[in-house]
Amino acid sequence: MFSFIVTKKLGRARLSELKTPHGTIPGPFFQFVATQAAIRGQVMSEDMEALGVDIMLANTYHLHLRPGEDIVAKAGGLHGFMQWNKPITTDSGGYQVFSLGDHVKIDDDGVTFKAPLDGSVHRFTPEITMQIQAKLGPDIVMPLDVCTPFTASKEEVEHAIIKTTEWVKRCKEEQSRLASPQALYGIVQGGVYPDLREKAAALLRKIGFFGYSIGGELQEKGEKEIKKIVNITTAQLPENAPRYLMGYGKPEDIVEAVRLGVDQFDCVLPVRNARHGQIFSNLNIEELQKALTDPEHPIDPKKLYTTIDITKAIFAEDFSVFDAENPAIVKQYTKSYVHHLMRAEPPSGMRLAVMANISFYVQLMRAIRNIIEDEGV
């Protein structure tokens, strides 16, 4: 039902295939964030299909609060609810719960929290999160882990690793009891401490998971620090399992992480930035090839791609389209038209801007795979 194979390598970069009950995903791949079972910006599942998207990511915490996993289950799980027949991943919601601050209480068994929507009290344990995700019915699921801020002390991070290891083991045991047909990943925490990252990875390898995620608030750290953490962590993970860098998604950072052996990504960035008018375009394939074939080649975002702010007046009379590589659903509209819509009819303008960025990320990941295919062994 599930399998993962690496078909070629270019340095540490990997070309892969992840087989799920809802289709095979070529890797490296990017998961577009459909937090509430939809992409923000009025982009629906049929649009994602037309744009060439392979997989989406939904959030257990948000869907538990609204509409509730029982309603989703009655609709046939997320695939039926969203009318999306390709693979879906769900995050456990742990990150969102731990970000609630004073509204969350942590104990050895799990977490109790108040929902910001209505003040209702909820309980997440490793077992409960697996039960919720079983009802949601995605292909790939994440365990409940302890998320520490990047400012946490080494002692706090080490304590979180111990608790996370206990919780993810319980998640695996509960998944076995439920016999749910889903691929469970372990999540490697460890903050900014290399020895703790190695320790966390070793503990998870001992338990054994289908895939392994690299967690933590890495986006809060500098580029060199992040590269060091990802480099250390991927080196500790099994060769025959997918490696997932969570919540990290600038194009240049994706390319850097691919060079370090990461297979799987997600981030709200392409959709969020589009809704504020930032459009990615003009991917430089030659520069991308240099970066992937030479691990020491510096990745300059200004050489790799361009960004524009479509809300600026300069685009009022720009009748060119965003990118020649965009599918018809995007490239039939000019920059002038989208600029106008962002001001006069924002929902429509945001929809087209979001689709343009989704198309760019699809193009980026496809180009990465093509280069590894052509240059790798």
Beta-bridge mates of residue 29: 264
pLDDT band at 97 (very low <50, low <70, confident <90, very high): confident
pLDDT band at 256 (very low <50, low <70, confident <90, very high): very high
Helix %, strand %, coil % for the chain, to 5? 45, 20, 35
Range in 12-21, 199-208, 293-302, 327-336 with the lowest mean pLDDT: 327-336
Query: Which of 47, 54, 91, 139 does the annotation list as catalytic?
Result: 91
Per-residue pLDDT, 219? 63
**Closest by Cα among 59, 43, 73, 56 to 137:** 73
Query: Which of 47, 54, 145, 266 does the annotation list as catalytic?
Result: 266
Predicted structure pTM score: 0.96
Per-residue pLDDT, 103? 80
Sequence-ordered list of residues with C-beta below 8 angstroms from that of 101, at least 6 positions apart, any chain = none
Helix (H), strand (E) at residue 278: strand 278-281
| pLDDT tens string 352-374 | 999 999 999 999 999 999 999 99
* The pLDDT of residue 99 is above 90: no
- As to burial, measured by CB atoms within 10 angstroms (0-12 exposed, 13-18 middle, 19+ buried), residue 128 is middle
**Average pLDDT score over residue span 241-259:** 96
**Average pLDDT score over residue span 61-74:** 98
Per-residue pLDDT, 221? 63
Instruction: Please confirm, yes or no, whether 102 is among the known catalytic residues.
Output: no
| pLDDT tens string 139-195 | 999 999 998 877 889 999 999 999 999 999 999 999 999 999 999 999 999 998 999
**Average pLDDT score over residue span 130-135:** 98
Handedness of CA 324, 328, 330, 331 (dihedral sign): positive
State how far the Cα of 341 lies from the Cα of 316, in Å rounded to an integer.
11
Beta-bridge mates of residue 89: 57, 140
Amino acid code (one letter) for 280: F
DSSP for 102-168 reads: GGEEE-SS-EEEE-TTT--EEEE-HHHHHHHHHHH--SEE--------TT--HHHHHHHHHHHHHHH
Asked whether the bond before 67 is cis by omega within 30 degrees of 0, the reply is: yes
Order of strands, sheet of 111-114, starting from the edge strand that comes earlier in the sequence? 104-106, 111-114, 121-124
Range in 128-137, 166-175, 197-206, 214-223 with the lowest mean pLDDT: 214-223
Angle of the 285-293 helix axis to the 251-259 helix axis, nearest 10: 30
**Average pLDDT score over residue span 44-61:** 97
DSSP for 73-91 reads: HHTTHHHHHHT--S-EEEE
Instruction: Please confirm, yes or no, whether 309 is among the known catalytic residues.
Output: no
Asked whether the bond before 28 is cis by omega within 30 degrees of 0, the reply is: yes
Sequence-ordered list of residues with C-beta below 8 angstroms from that of 4, at least 6 positions apart, any chain = 16, 17, 18, 19, 210, 211, 240, 241, 242
Task: Spell out the domains of the chain, with CATH numbers in brackets.
Answer: 3-265 (3.20.20.105)
